[in-house]
Amino acid sequence: MTFSLTSLIVDAADLDSESSFWHRLLGGSITRTATHHFLQIDGFPVIVIQRAPEHVPPQWPDGASQQMHFDLATDDVATADKRVLDAGGRRLRPADDVVASTQPGFRVYASPAGHPFCVRSA
């Protein structure tokens, strides 16, 4: 018996904002329903943005735990930083914080719904 990953589910109160954000970063195509947006990217499981009207963004890093997060790799962290911010993401740690200084090419962000993710050098 084996498992295969079919999708990743991301809760968000605002489906359009969250699905558009991931689409701007990762490309692919979006299929929309009233309660879910399905982001299909070639060679990757479907990312499902699920309507969760009561979703409250985590207060990371102020004590709230991360249940799961995305890691993205890039060959140009500086350009990726601008792209993340232009797409509606926000930095969770400044570029010169302790983690970034010990792990060059590593940045931590949040999506519009507050889900943390990392961008690192490929």
Range of the domain at 35: 7-54+66-121
Q: Are strands 90-91 and 70-74 parallel, antiparallel or unpaired?
A: unpaired
- The mean pLDDT value for 28-39 works out to 94
3-state SS, one letter per residue, for 5-51: CCEEEEEECCHHHHHHHHHHHHCCEEEECCCEEEEECCCCCEEEEEE
- Under 8 Å CB-to-CB from 33, ≥6 apart: which residues? none
Whether 1 is in a domain gets the answer no
Give the count of beta carbons closer than 10 Å to the beta carbon of residue 11: 19
Q: What was the pLDDT predicted at 42?
A: 87
Q: What was the pLDDT predicted at 96?
A: 58
For residue 97, the one-letter residue type is D
Whether 37 is in a domain gets the answer yes
Whether 114 is in a domain gets the answer yes
Whether 2 is in a domain gets the answer no
CATH code: domain of residue 98? 3.10.180.10
Q: What was the pLDDT predicted at 90?
A: 92
- Our CA dihedral for 80, 70, 14, 49, rounded to 10 degrees, sits at 120
Q: How many domains does the chain have?
A: 1
Whether 108 is in a domain gets the answer yes
Mean pLDDT of the chain: 82
| pLDDT confidence tier of residue 30, bands split at 50, 70 and 90 | very high
